[in-house]
Amino acid sequence: MGRTSKALTGGLLICALAAVSVPVGLQVVPAFLPQDPAAVAVLPAAQAAPTSLGEISGVGPLDSTAPLPDADKLSAGLDKALMFDGEGTFSMYVADALTGEELFSQDGQAARTPASNLKLLTAGAALRTLGTDARFSTEAVAGSSPNEIVLVAGGDSLLTAGAGADDSAMGHAGLATLAGQTAKSLAGAGAKGPVTLTIDDSLFTGPALNPKWADGDVDAGEIAPIYPMALYAGRFAPEVLTGPRPQDSAVAVAEAFAQALEDAGVATTGAITRGKAPAAGGDAAGGADASQTGAAQSGTAKSGSVQPGAVLGSVESATVAEQTQYMLSESDNYVAEVLGRMVAVKMGKAASNSGAVAAVRQVAGELGMPMDSIVTTDNSGLAAGNLISPQQLVKMLSLMLADPAADIGQALPGLPVAGLTGSLEHRFVTAPALDGAGLVRAKTGSLNLVTSLSGYVVNSEGRLLVFSILGNGLTGGAIAARPVLDAAAGVLALS
């Protein structure tokens, strides 16, 4: 692995520690709180366990003169941690973030199945191509037929049926908000209902399901058919994380929008159909210009009607940076696949499964990833056939860490913190992995026979270490092997 081209600045340590500076409430630190209510009741207030994470102040830059871990001690500790009684193999690669120097490798150059660690490539491609501040619009457009409203999908997979919430990635844009805007526009134009609904989801092409996804994973709700708009990342409700999902997320959005219109006083009628939204002025097009929002009230429409193509309402998603961070923190397959397709749209490629994979691969290569030896068949890591080495995942993370303030560096706040947040919330809570709690920040991954963990940690000497561990062939299942990964990461924290 080559040396990085620049030294890390103070922002790097801030990035490495920022996740533990945001108050997150009691539920995220169960391992650190007393379990006996009676014991809590008699504790003086000054000795009570914290109910939120403390603020960081006075954080300075990493010390470039901090010593590297002792090679023999590190190898001995990691060799022991990576011992496993069950069937399967573990490959691991560790490097110093500042210099790129290899510190440990156990088959670190060998291509393995990464599971959701593949999302690191998707995150980098989305941030670089789409831009950190980009947002996706969902619009209600006047159709070509009288009283027709076309719901135009723009790539937001995190819609909510209710009002939008500005402080949340999930549900930043709300269909109740969109319905309220639409009702106001219709009333301003003197349009009389009831209205019919048409879906324009032509932004994506090709099969909605990747043929590389196992039927069992689809049936279990690990993924769902991919559409350019969805409620709750393709779920029936945000809290329902397993089991069946909507098989047509665009229809699910349209049905929720129809109910929101009814609640806003706009009657709907007829079946929901698919079609193309007309351009402003009435010509058929793939969508409408968001700058036309409110055109129904601009005086260009005849009394009692709305000009075809006029945007009646528009809501915007969370930023791409916020969506990417959500995707990494929650390891959300649906969001990853939608972001991959949006990269393809931006690059002028077909927004299909294959087009999205090709687009992400191209951007990852342009970022400096050696793609010739990397095999990808989807953008979430769920599909069969994905292959990448721990060393290559360390390379991706090192590119992000080289400048945390840059576009791809905005992925880093989405990496879960050991024992505290996201998909690591309930891990690193017992010895020996407890040594890494609150210190290790990493992307998780799990398939039936695969478990993975790739991230970084500032060790006991103040040195920033980047690592990737991929466990494959785990016939006893991924969950049984997770303690091996966590213990190895804990060794790095103490090194």
What distances in angstroms separate CA 99 from CA 121, 402, 437, 466, one per listed residue? 22, 10, 25, 11
At 52 the pLDDT is 63
What is the predicted pLDDT for the residue at 136?
A: 98
The residue written with tokens 């929901």 in the block is 272
Domain count, the chain: 2
What contacts 296, CB < 8 A, 6 or more positions away? 142, 185, 186, 188, 189, 191, 306, 307, 310, 312
Note whether 180 and 264 are same-domain residues.
yes
Q: Which residues of the chain have pLDDT under 70?
A: 1-60, 281-304
Q: How far is CA 169 from the centre of its chain?
A: 10
Which residues sit opposite 149 in a β-bridge? 142, 197
Q: Which tokens in the block code for residue 292?
A: 């036309």
Is there a domain that residue 344 lies in?
Answer: no
Report d(CA 418, CA 35) in Å as an integer.
20
In 396-463, beta strands by DSSP E: 441-447, 450-458
Q: Which residues contact 159 (CB under 8 A, 6 or more apart)?
A: 138, 171, 173, 174, 175, 229, 230, 231, 232, 253, 315, 317
Query: What values do phi and psi take at 428, rounded to 5?
Result: 60, 35
Helix, strand or coil for residue 57? Answer: coil
Under a CB-based contact definition with an 8 Å cutoff, are residues 444 and 331 in contact? Answer: yes
Buried-exposed string 26-41: b where 16+ CB fall within 10 A, e elsewhere: eebbebeeeeeeeeee
The predicted pLDDT at position 281 comes to 64
Residues 121 and 186 in one domain: no
Q: Based on the domain organization, do 97 and 148 belong to the same domain?
A: no
Residue 117 lies in a domain: yes
- Buried/exposed 447-472: b ≥16 CB within 10 Å, e otherwise: bebbbbbbbbbbbeeebbbbbbbbbb
| Separation between Cα atoms, residue 213 and residue 27, nearest integer Å | 33
Q: Which residues on adjacent β-strands are paired with residue 465?
A: 96, 457
> Is 4 part of any domain?
no
Report the alpha-carbon distance of residue 388 to residue 372 in Å, rounded: 10
The tokens for 322 are 């916020």
Which tokens in the block code for residue 169? 């990635």
CA atoms within 13 A on the CB side of 403: 9
Please give the share of the chain, as a percent, with pLDDT higher than 70: 83
For residues 207 and 286, membership in a common domain is answered with yes
CA distances, 426 to each of 197, 469, 470, 483 (Å):
44, 19, 20, 12
Is 342 among the domain residues?
no
Residues 450 and 189: their CA atoms lie apart, in Å, by 58
**Domain shared by 163 and 122, yes or no:** no
Please say whether the beta carbons of 399 and 124 come within 8 A.
Answer: yes
pLDDT of residue 192: 84
The pLDDT assigned to 287 comes to: 36
Between CA 354 and CA 165, with CA 336 as vertex, the angle to 5 degrees is: 140
Output the pLDDT for position 15: 44
One domain for residues 165 and 247: yes
Q: Are residues 170 and 304 in the same domain?
A: yes
- From the centroid of its chain, how far is CA 367? 19
What are the structure tokens assigned to 111, written together? 């291509």
Phi then psi for 217, rounded to 5 degrees?
-70, -40
Confirm whether 359 is domain-assigned.
no
**Residues 89 and 230 grouped into a single domain:** no
Last residue of some domain: 289, 318, 347? 318
CA-CA distance, 58 to 478, in Å (whole number)? 40
CB-based contacts of 76, cutoff 8 Å, min separation 6: none
Around 399, how many Cα atoms within 13 Å sit in the side-chain half-sphere? 23
Taking the C-alpha atoms of residue 378 and residue 388, their distance in angstroms, rounded to an integer, is 13
Say what the pLDDT of residue 68 is. Answer: 96
- Determine the Cα–Cα distance for residues 27 and 229; give it in Å rounded to an integer: 31
Residue 196, number of CB atoms within 10 A of its CB: 19
Q: Same domain, yes or no, for 293 and 146?
A: yes
Residues 159 and 308 in one domain: yes
Contact at 8 Å (CB) between 26 and 34? no
Question: pLDDT at position 302, please?
Answer: 40
Kindly tell me the sign of the dihedral angle through the C-alpha atoms of 301, 307, 310, 313: positive
Of 285, 318, 351, the one marking the end of a domain is 318
Q: What is the domain extent for residue 478?
A: 10-126+370-494
For residue 280, what pLDDT is reported?
A: 77
Q: Give the distance between the most distant pair of CA atoms in the chain.
A: 82
Beta bridge partners of 388: 112
Domain with residue 395: its CATH number is 3.40.710.10
What letter does residue 222 receive in the DSSP assignment?
A: S
> Among 295, 318, 341, where does a domain finish?
318
Q: Give the Cβ contact number of residue 2 at 10 Å.
A: 9
The rounded distance, in Å, linking the Cα atoms of 410 and 445 is 20
Here the tokens at position 74 are 């590190």
Q: Do residues 38 and 143 both lie within one domain?
A: no
pLDDT at 51: 63
Residue carrying the six token digits 């135009």: 152
Residue 3 lies in a domain: no
Same domain, 145 and 114: no
pLDDT of the residue at 305: 74
What three-state secondary structure class fits 101? coil
Residue 349 lies in a domain: no
Site of tokens 């991929």: 470
Answer yes or no: is 422 within a domain: yes
Q: 436-479: per-residue pLDDT in tens?
A: 999 999 999 999 999 999 999 999 999 999 999 999 999 999 99
According to DSSP, the residues that pair with 375 across neighbouring strands are 387
Three-state secondary-structure class, residue 47: helix
